[in-house]
Structure 1
Amino acid sequence: MATRYSSALRSISRSCRATRSHTLAGPSRCLATEAAASTSTPPPPADPKLNKIVDDISGLTLLQAADLVSLLKSRLNIQEIAMPAAAAAAPAAAPAEEVEVEKPKEKTSFNVKLEAFDAAAKAKVIREVKAMVPNLTLIEAKKFVESLPQTLKENVSKEDAEKLKKTFMDLGATVTLE
């Protein structure tokens, strides 16, 4: 694309030089284009084969240029390089928005944990623990309650966990659901 513009500038400057040599007019727009052409990149090598390739490539459409790039990569075994961080940040923002839109999955199983209890309600809490776990003796239930925090039940449904929590809260104990 740049070669197309530089060759156009060269042809304009040549026509301006020719026009200026025939007329004795003062400075014109040709001087501005002439200065721009002289400060641009140096002319490409004089190899006619390279000039023909450059002319052919500059005449391609964007789709054809993309196909050319992919063909050159496959033929020359050129591997993809990582994109710069600034360009990668824009596509990364879209998945982050999608994650925010999705609702987090609601927890279905809970662990009921006995954290603390009132000293006056100790006997009631021990009886409730013994009733909840049938294989416990009264002494084991007492040791269980005295060594807090302890997990009462694991993998309980939400409704059952809420019922257990309400029961123990009514007795004067502190229960958490995990």
Structure 2
Amino acid sequence: MNSIRLLRSLPTRQWRSFSRCTVLHQEVAEAINPLTIPPPEGVDKPVSPKIEKIVSEITTLNLLEVSELSQVLKKRLNLPDAPVMPMGGFAGVVAPPQEEEEATPKAVKTSFTVKMTKFDDKQKVALIKEVKSLLEGYNLVQAKKFVESVPTVVKADISKDEAEKLKEALTKVGAVIEID
């Protein structure tokens, strides 16, 4: 009773600070509450009543209502359409017979990439001249920068014969070449 009289006699400015203090006191008290210990792995986690209510309502829906709910959720949440799985998951997929796999020819690689991994410093000038002559549109400065930027791709998507010729020409002048 005395506390109510005290509160009535407080000026407005003090009343505001008093109410702020009580709010802060409540927030601190909520923060101090001990943390909840998570349940062990074998035990189901407790579910909030709100989620439990939603789950119970969804389980009472018929198939048409579930479909409609799914469409509405996809629109609201901007979800893409997922592919429909057959009943039973992947059980309906039949493994192809072994004979067909043996009958199909293996894919033959038709395009190759020539990479220069390193070069001999003593033959750097010769290598620069060779790169200038082998690669179209390169002048001496561009060829020098190209050689100094090792490891680098010399040419990509070329035939096996052309890749072998490039490798032979560049290895003669001290480059280490890999063909992928």
TM-score grouping bracket, smaller chain normalisation: 0.3 to 0.5
Normalised by the size of structure 2, how large is the TM-score? 0.45
Larger Rg: 1
